Amino acid sequence: MGANLNGYEELPKDVKVHVPDFDYIIYDLSGFSDEEIKGKVQTRILLTLLRDIFTKDIDELIHSILKCIHYLLELEDKQTGIEFLETMIRYVFSAAKYLTKDDMNKIRREIETTFPEGSEVTMTLADILREEGMKKGWEEGLEKGIEKGIELGQAKALSKTALQLLTAKFGCLPEEMKEDIKKLDVITLELILSNIFNYNHLDDVKKIISY
């Protein structure tokens, strides 16, 4: 990393030793097919949404969302499915700003039909949007005045997903790390999630958090 810092060579030796030196791999998920995305249900949902959330093809995005809802049926613990569904919906409605009310209703109907255990979540979607400062934005065409609220909602959903997946991979996380992850911005959280397969130890995650 030092080679990428201007003036690194001029730094005192005792300062250089504190410059982080690590590598990380960034995956471009856009080229992955559904068949190539493997793993646990939560992992497949996460990677599918990260791959398609910013697509300009609204039909393709809705297709991916509905596919993720079907993935939830594979979970034996329905309570886990309900909790992950809420996280998924928070993220989708925060990041996919161009979804219309008709699109939202289509997703709601699919949830009620395919995953009835999560129907209560669909009934509280308006509350979720209001809580994140987004309900007014949907009604007014997502005006610029709520962009900060949308970003906060997206970060909250991503941090919750990151905590769930890291806990599943490493077991109980240190409280300090949990709090640090909750404070991260969207870009850093997406970086953590996109590298979920590469971590061998929590120290790998800490390097990204402190970067």
- 79 half-sphere exposure, CB direction, 13 A CA radius: 0
Classify residue 20: in a domain, yes or no.
no
CA 194/CA 183 separation, integer angstroms: 18
Classify residue 161: in a domain, yes or no.
yes
Classify residue 100: in a domain, yes or no.
yes
Classify residue 142: in a domain, yes or no.
yes
CA 138/CA 93 separation, integer angstroms: 10
Structural domain of 183: 32-209
**What's the gap between Cα 3 and its chain centre?**
31
Q: Please report the pLDDT score of residue 149 as a whole number.
A: 57
Q: Quick one: DSSP state of residue 138? A: H
Q: Please report the pLDDT score of residue 177 as a whole number.
A: 92
Q: Please report the pLDDT score of residue 154 as a whole number.
A: 79
- Number of domains the chain is built from: 1
Classify residue 1: in a domain, yes or no.
no
Other residues' Cβ atoms within 10 Å of the Cβ of residue 197: 11
Query: Is 53 exposed, middle or buried (CB count within 10 Å of its CB: 0-12, 13-18, 19+)?
Result: middle
Classify residue 10: in a domain, yes or no.
no
Q: Please report the pLDDT score of residue 22 as a whole number.
A: 58
CA 111/CA 124 separation, integer angstroms: 13
pLDDT (tens digit per residue) in 180-191: 999 888 888 888
For the chain, 211 residues long, the average pLDDT of each consecutive 10-residue run is 59 65 69 86 89 85 88 86 84 78 80 80 60 52 51 80 89 92 88 85 88 70
CA 201/CA 63 separation, integer angstroms: 35
Q: Where are any strands of DSSP class E within the chain? A: none
Report which residue type is found at 149: G
pLDDT (tens digit per residue) in 165-180: 899 888 999 999 999 9
Classify residue 12: in a domain, yes or no.
no
Classify residue 57: in a domain, yes or no.
yes
Q: Please report the pLDDT score of residue 131 as a whole number.
A: 55
Classify each residue of 11-45 as buried b or exposed e, where b means 16 or more C-beta atoms within 10 Å of its C-beta.
Answer: eeeeeeeeeeeeeeeeeebeeeeeeebeeebbbbb
